[in-house]
Structure 1
């Protein structure tokens, strides 16, 4: 029997209407456009409106992906949603999204792998299709990270934004996802984490207490560069490819310096790297599908091209996906 691939049939994305520039942030905290841009490459980010939830963002991105794929929501066999900012503890945001799409019956669940959430979700969905358990799957990465930002902490509040991206995967015997590679190291959790939860509770007297992102930026940067270097080499070796075979690198949009370091490792000019961090900031699990949709709709990414997707996030988690678009 021919191998079954999971092919991206359509992409979609959504950003909240409220765009916040570096200059606007400088009115709230001791920072400047030059300080932020020189260290991160970020100049703008989007912030969800009051009452606008992760499910709302995921819904709009999903509708656009379904339309691009020519697929009706009733055809879905599975919904996998990567997020670290669910609307509520349960049911999952994927279940809420399923209801918003007007369907019921297909499987739906969330994946929490922080900024690697979409790559993890994509890998899981691909396995369902390859195993024959599903033929049409909606994969989403969506976040409202600004809900857990300390707007007085200039080291973190300048980095993050809200947004969502989605893809529709369909079973195909000719082309699609070639391989995915997932990794984690829970021993580094305190370098990038939100220490509030249901089981551990909430200590109001703890340092940096609150539902907020705590990050040791320099250490995260070093670990991210090393991990992404390793997973890129792993991906190429697993597929018998040379780094020059890659048409497009579509990385997690956290920091321009990390993106540039990965591109240098691949000996890839920045003209072949999709960069949206300047306009979106770090949207965590939403960043890779957002960047993919921007590249597809702008006409840069074409059918038949080889794409390398990669991400690194809290956990630590990291991973990659190589696919023939």
Structure 2
């Protein structure tokens, strides 16, 4: 079986933003309270006329353009999302239609905040097994649509956006650009992060998630590095799910990635769930903060208390 690689990335965020000052006008909070506890300054928000599949399609189109590919070159579309309203057509099918793709396999993957790294691993497996030649993997969520704007502990977190990666077979004789995935979950604690009800609403047990993430996840992330054949100190970047800085920074420190750029896109984007990792990664690459071919740790975690991580080589 031949390995796979990320050929290109793309990202998209709606133009409208919500600042901490905006939130202070509707709930009992302040800019200082928010920045101190979660590190977020602003977040992007999609309007009623901007569904999740539109966000996803914009990001995918940019990734295709950056790869120099046409929609007809894609035979698999995977969308990681937990905020799509309709069950069928699924989000991946709607993205394929928006982009004018010909006959791709289309699948949605709902693993909430760890969705993108699960979807990336699935695309890697499909390419390795020969069932796909070239895939677009998208993380897209419209978290503001499921936010309780009266709950000051959660409404300060959420934002909307999408990020995408073009995944294709690695050149024969070269090292794979996507390493082995390490994934799992804690089903007994799965309700610590929820999007439930009619209409669905996001809620979480913040302290439970914080303790689990900062104590249980660093050794798992180090095992991801081991599986990928990279020492933590040799990582060029660490892109964790952008939950909040109080989680990101302790995990990054405990991993031991002392020379790595640490993605902190949460500051300007908020928690965008499945979109957070590809958004942050695409921005680091676009700004030139990671060189081509350098090793990057991707590690998603959150809803279901699921996690998934892999070492990838920057496109």
State whether TM-score is above 0.5: yes
1:310 to 275, 286, 299: 299
Q: 1:312: Cα distance to partner?
A: 0.7
The answer on 1:35 being equivalent to 2:36 is no
| Mapping of residues 174-253 of structure 1, within 5 Å | 174=174, 175-196=176-197, 202=198, 210-253=199-242
Unaligned runs of 5+ in 2: none
Change (3 A) 1:172 1:240: closer
CA RMSD of aligned residues (A): 1.4
- Secondary structure (helix, strand or coil) at the match of 1:182 reads strand
For 1:61 and 1:239, locate their aligned partners in 2 and report how far apart those are by CA, in whole Å: 27
- Secondary structure (helix, strand or coil) at the match of 2:215 reads helix
Q: 1:240: Cα distance to partner?
A: 4.1
- Secondary structure (helix, strand or coil) at the match of 1:179 reads coil
The answer on 1:165 being equivalent to 2:154 is no
TM-score (norm 2): 0.95
Asked if structure 1 preserves the Cα contact closer than 8 Å seen for 2:43 and 2:160, the reply is yes
For 1:227 and 1:116, locate their aligned partners in 2 and report how far apart those are by CA, in whole Å: 15
TM-score (norm 1): 0.92
Residue deviations 1:142-190, cap 9 Å, x none? 0011111110110100001000000101111324102211111221122
Change (3 A) 1:227 1:319: farther
Residue deviations 1:38-87, cap 9 Å, x none? 00010000110121100010011011000001111101010000000114
1:290 to 261, 266, 279: 279
Residue deviations 1:182-223, cap 9 Å, x none? 111221122111232xxxxx5xxxxxxx52112110111111
Change (3 A) 1:152 1:270: farther
Residue deviations 1:102-138, cap 9 Å, x none? 1231101100000000011000000001111112100
**Matched length:** 311
Asked if structure 1 preserves the Cα contact closer than 8 Å seen for 2:233 and 2:258, the reply is no
Q: 1:95: Cα distance to partner?
A: 0.5
For 1:62 and 1:192, locate their aligned partners in 2 and report how far apart those are by CA, in whole Å: 28
Unaligned runs of 5+ in 1: 197-201, 203-209
For 1:83 and 1:239, locate their aligned partners in 2 and report how far apart those are by CA, in whole Å: 26
Asked if structure 2 preserves the Cα contact closer than 8 Å seen for 1:243 and 1:267, the reply is yes
| Mapping of residues 124-135 of structure 1, within 5 Å | 124-135=122-133
Q: 1:304: Cα distance to partner?
A: 1.7
The answer on 1:24 being equivalent to 2:13 is no
| Mapping of residues 85-100 of structure 1, within 5 Å | 85-100=83-98
- Secondary structure (helix, strand or coil) at the match of 2:180 reads strand
Residue deviations 1:3-53, cap 9 Å, x none? 522111110000011111101110111101100010001000011012110
